[in-house]
Amino acid sequence: MIGKIAFQGEPGAYSHQACFEARPDLTPLPCATFEDVIAAVRNGDAVQAMLPVENSTYGRVADIHRLLPESGLHIIDEAFVRVHINLLAVPGAQVEDITDAWSHLVLLPQCGSFLRDNNIKGHVSPDNARAARDVAERGERSHAALASELAGEIYGLDVLARHIEDHDRNTTRFLVMQPEADLTRRSERMMTTFVFRVRNIPAALYKAMGGFATNGVNMTKLESYMVDGSFTATQFYADIEGHPEDRNVQLALDELDYFTSELKILGTYPADHARD
C-alpha cells in the first residue's frame, strides 16, 4: 500500500504542490487544519506531514511554532517551494472578461499590480485552492481565482495569466515531519531545529546565544513567541547549521542548556539546496 503525506488545505493548495515536489512517492492527504495534519500522522492515516513554517514575504506561518514542540513529530526534511500565482478561470474566458478574483488573504496583495492594471477586484477566500474550486463550481466567465497551476488542473480551469505575483522570489519553506526521529547524517550540510526557554536570570538569552558565536555555529533563524497565555513565558524557536554530533554544535548546545529551563531538539535534516 502506498503511504500518504498529510497537508493542510484543499487539493491544489501550495502545500499540496510541496507534497508532489518533495515526496512524489507518497499520496497527498488533504486536512482541514494543521492540528488535523498532525493527528493524521499520529493516528497512522499518514506516514509523514508537510507543514509550512515560513514565507519569504510574510514571515512565519501562524500557529506552527506553537504546535510543533507538542506534536510528537520530528523534522526529517525541509522543502522550499516557489509560490507562483496564476489567474485561473473557466474555459473560454479571457483576461479582459475578468472583473473579480478570489484568493487567500496573503496572496491578494502579492498580485496588486496585476489586479490594478487589469481593473480586477480582489476578494478574500479561505484558501487559494478553495477559490479555484468555487470559481469552477459557479462557472461565471467574469470570475477568476489566484492560485497554483495544480489547482487549475484539478478543477478544470484555464490559466489566463501565469506568474502574476509582484515579487519574483516569493518562497515558502516547508518542514517534512514523522513520528520517528532520523538523526543520521544524510548530507554534508545539515540543519538542526530546536526550541528552548531561558532561565529567569539577568542576560540569560545573551549568554545562551554566546555559545553559538564563540563556537562558530551559524544560527539562521531565531524567533520568540508567548506560551501558556502569559506575557512572561517566552519560548524561542531556532535553526542552526550543523549536526548535534558536530563538536562545535555540541559545545554550543551544552552552553545553551546551562542557561535554559527547557531545551527540545525537533529534528536534524539535510539543508535544502534552495538555501543557496
- The letter for the amino acid at 136 is A
CA distances, 19 to each of 1, 93, 232 (Å) = 18, 30, 38
Residue 93 three-state SS:
coil
CA distances, 224 to each of 106, 197, 231 (Å) = 22, 9, 12
CA gap 223, 228 in Å, rounded: 17
271 contact partners, CB below 8 Å, separation of at least 6: 78, 187, 189, 190, 191, 241
- The letter for the amino acid at 238 is A
Task: Quote the cell numbers at residue 133.
Answer: 474550486
DSSP 165: -
Look up cell 479561505; give the residue: 126
User: What values do phi and psi take at 111, rounded to 5?
Assistant: -115, 20
DSSP 70: G
Q: Which residues are catalytic?
A: 172, 174
DSSP 183-233: -S--SSSEEEEEEEEE-SSTTHHHHHHHHHHHTT--EEEEEEEE-TT-SS-
Identify whether the C-beta of residue 113 lies closer than 8 Å to the C-beta of residue 165: no
SS3 content of the chain, % helix, strand, coil (to 5): 30, 35, 35
